[in-house]
Amino acid sequence: MQNNIELFDGIDADLYAISTDSPENSKRLKEAGAFTFSFLSDKSFSVLDRTKMKNDQISYRGISILDQDGTYIHHEINDFWGDQIEQTADIIYEQLNKVN
């Protein structure tokens, strides 16, 4: 996503990478990749469960969209969301436009 971050310039939203990695490991990954968006650690699966991205004891790969109040809007499980980044951006814009 970082290589195509400009696709998200027009989105009035915050972007996050969420995983069950430890906060320390998430921080290392963010710094090593020089990512400009936030990494969140969700070891308890509380956010992943709420956004329908929990898969037993791991998380699905894909996207989740919450509104500004944290209310669930949409999710899409897709192992190839990064390879299909233009379609992913289109989905995000479409879903956000429905609530704005």
Q: Which of 23, 16, 15, 69 lies closest to 42, judged by CA?
A: 23
Q: Which of 50, 58, 56, 76 lies closest to 19, judged by CA?
A: 58
Per-residue confidence (pLDDT) for residue 99, from 0 to 100: 86
66 confidence band (pLDDT: 50, 70, 90): very high
Taking residue 48's Cβ as centre, other Cβ atoms within 10 Å add up to 22
Domains of the chain: 2-86 (3.40.30.10)
Q: Which residues of 55-93 are buried (b: 16+ CB within 10 A; e: fewer)?
A: eeeebbebbbbbeeeeeeebbbebeebeeebeebbebbe
37 confidence band (pLDDT: 50, 70, 90): very high
